[in-house]
Chain A
Amino acid sequence: MRDAQSFDELYRGTARRLLRYGYAVTGDHTEAQDLVQEAFARAWRQWGRLSAHPAPEAWLRLVVARLATDRWRRLHRWRATLSRTGPPPDAPAPSEDGVLLVRALRQLPTAQRQALALHYLFDMSVEEIAREADVPVGTVKSWLSRGRSRLAALLPDLSTVKLEANDVS
């Protein structure tokens, strides 16, 4: 028997953060909404076991990221469709800064987008990201470093001084 109440609590407590994460990774509001709902749908289907998971939010992040990666592949297949069906429905106008960042992030490899999002949105340390990604700490450092350098090149107004000062050691 699956406990709907505990599922709903997890949803209310984490869905918003996951939506931010999905948006940071995909750069698209509709995609992010789809991914988050799909991740939670999958979580509910196996809630009997997942409810005992020590870190269900991390599990959901993995699913969101995996689906996002999958979508990127599908987008190649469906790009003609996207051009035919036009842009997604109107979304509230995001702030200019948010738009600039999203545009720049789209030009980064997926791993760098995900690592940056985990660091800036979830305040995760390099070690925590490495644990979640199951990769060496050095790999995460490289993702973050390269991602920031690329963003600095793409966003001339980005404060590179502070960026370096805040860099992960």
Chain B
Amino acid sequence: MSAELSDLYRSLSAAADDQELARPELVRRRADRRAHVRVAGTALAVAVLLGGVAVGGRLVLSADGATPLPPPADTPGPLPTWSTPPPSLSPSPPSPPPSRSTPSGTPPAPTTGAAAPRPPTSIPDRAFFVLAAANQTGQESRIEGPALPVLCTASYPSESTVVQRRGRYLAYKRPETPKGYVPDGSYRHTITIYRPGSADDALRDLRQAVRDCPRQELPDDGERTWRQRLLDPGRYGDESVLFEMRAPFLDVNGEPSGEEVRLVRAVRIDDVVTVLWEQGWEGTSAERGQVDADTRRAVAAIVDWLH
């Protein structure tokens, strides 16, 4: 049987017409509730969208505000550690919250006389925290990627002391966002084991990298200038580093409209460093409260694993 293309498109339209659409007032309400969400990339969209598709993905790399990905930083250290399985694709049991005596997630001091825990050499699935139920979207990916955003030309000498690194992407939602809606943000979450005594070098390297890179333009990100600065890290683990990245957010007319904010926190627990890099979702900005809460969960899961 032969068919014309226009007929096929009519069939396609009929199939689409069977789908339900939300009522406009619900769309408005949702938009107002998510007023913190920046209008993502539409300035670029207007200029480049259909014309821009000719140059493909390069355009969208900057459109959601996610910083372009540098060469993978997930390279294993000196030991061949990638033979271990990646993070489980199914959620592991929720991590217990930090105990009251260790509100920052600092691991308890070893009991006097007890044998010192052996340095870890591999990262189990349970070391990865589970989002609070109200934040879960069910979207998690083990796709490889960098552990940190580009910071000018920073290099990290401590990378030579990496024993193993595992990472994942996971999307989260705000508690008030209904299930099934687009996520409100996402993390690049990594856990890295360093050789004994070397993990503090990693944090030192990171602090220095942020200090050395107060401003930068990122490739494939238009002409925006990102500003980086260290923030008071709060009390997490044995020590931690928190920094923000800020860049103007451009509205549909290409005019600055607020700012886009990314937060990156690295926490050391013994010889392990975990990094939560909030990457947003289609232009959303990181919120400190959410990142703090998830950091506590991340630290608690690692403390639980190590001790």
Q: A and B: real partners?
A: yes
Partner-B contacts on A (CB < 8 A) = 4, 7-8, 11-12, 15-16, 19-20, 22-24, 29, 32-34, 36-38, 40-42, 44-46, 49-50, 59, 62-63, 65-67, 69-70, 72-73, 76-81, 84-85, 91-92, 94-102, 109-111, 114-117, 120-121, 129, 132-135, 139, 148, 151, 155, 157-159, 162-163, 166
**Distance in angstroms between the alpha carbons of A110 and B21 in the assembled complex:** 24
A residues less than 8 Å from B5 (CB atoms)? 116, 120, 148, 151, 158-159, 163, 166
- Whether A62 and B25, one on each chain, are in contact in the complex, defined by CB atoms closer than 8 angstroms, is no
Q: 19 A-B contacts, Cβ less than 8 Å apart?
A: A11-B27, A22-B16, A23-B19, A29-B15, A33-B21, A42-B31, A69-B57, A70-B60, A70-B282, A77-B145, A77-B169, A78-B169, A98-B12, A114-B53, A116-B9, A120-B6, A133-B51, A158-B4, A166-B6
Q: Shortest 4 CB-CB distances between A and B: which pairs?
A: A94-B15, A133-B50, A66-B45, A41-B31
**B115 within 8 Å of A (CB atoms):** no
> What is the CB-to-nearest-CB distance from A167 to chain B, in angstroms, rounded to a whole number?
10
* A-binding segment of B136-144, B242-250, B267-275: B136-144
Q: Which of B4, B16, B39 contacts A46 (CB 8 A)?
A: B39
**Distance in angstroms between the alpha carbons of A133 and B52 in the assembled complex:** 8
**Distance in angstroms between the alpha carbons of A80 and B138 in the assembled complex:** 12
B55 closest partner in A (C-beta): A111
A residues less than 8 Å from B14 (CB atoms)? 94-95, 98
A117 closest partner in B (C-beta): B9
**B158 within 8 Å of A (CB atoms):** no
**B18 within 8 Å of A (CB atoms):** yes
**Distance in angstroms between the alpha carbons of A94 and B32 in the assembled complex:** 34
Q: Which of A85, A98, A148, A163 contacts B11 (CB 8 A)?
A: A98
B residues less than 8 Å from A155 (CB atoms)? 3, 8
- Whether A24 and B9, one on each chain, are in contact in the complex, defined by CB atoms closer than 8 angstroms, is yes
**Distance in angstroms between the alpha carbons of A11 and B30 in the assembled complex:** 14
- Whether A78 and B50, one on each chain, are in contact in the complex, defined by CB atoms closer than 8 angstroms, is no
B residues less than 8 Å from A76 (CB atoms)? 143
A residues less than 8 Å from B46 (CB atoms)? 59, 62
- Whether A24 and B12, one on each chain, are in contact in the complex, defined by CB atoms closer than 8 angstroms, is yes
Q: Which of B11, B21, B30, B41 contacts A94 (CB 8 A)?
A: B11
Known: A65-B49, A133-B51. 10 other contacts (CB 8 A): A16-B17, A23-B12, A66-B44, A73-B60, A78-B141, A79-B141, A97-B3, A101-B12, A133-B49, A135-B50
